Amino acid sequence: MSYINNNVLKLGSLALASMFVIGLSGCAPEVGSEQWCKQMSEKDKGDWTANEAADYAKHCVF
């Protein structure tokens, strides 16, 4: 019986963690949107990745 409860607990924890990750990804603005450009302009330029810098130049500058 303990074995079943342990598996149910693991499965429930995995499901909860998955929903949390999916929820966080839904909060990020779409790359190139006005909100994303504003968020990037407020972010320290030293923390930008190469892809973020390229996307910013493509969508927000030109």
Give the model confidence (pLDDT) of 26-62 as tens digits: 788 999 999 999 999 999 999 999 999 999 999 999 7
Written as one string, the DSSP assignment of 9-50 is HHHHHHHHHHHHHHHHHTTSPPTTSHHHHHHHHHS-GGG--H
Q: Is the domain of 36 the same as that of 56?
A: yes
Q: Is the domain of 35 the same as that of 53?
A: yes
- CA–CA dist 56, 40 (Å, integer): 8
Q: Is the domain of 19 the same as that of 37?
A: no
**Residue 24: what pLDDT?**
67
User: How many domains does one find in the chain?
Assistant: 2
Q: Report CA Rg, the chain.
A: 19
Q: Is the domain of 17 the same as that of 41?
A: no
Q: Is the domain of 61 the same as that of 37?
A: yes
**Residue 50: what pLDDT?**
97
pTM of the model: 0.56
Q: Is the domain of 40 the same as that of 22?
A: no
Q: Is the domain of 9 the same as that of 21?
A: yes
Render pLDDT for 2-24 as a digit per residue (tens, 0 to 9).
777 888 888 888 888 777 777 66
Name the residue range of residue 5's domain. 1-28
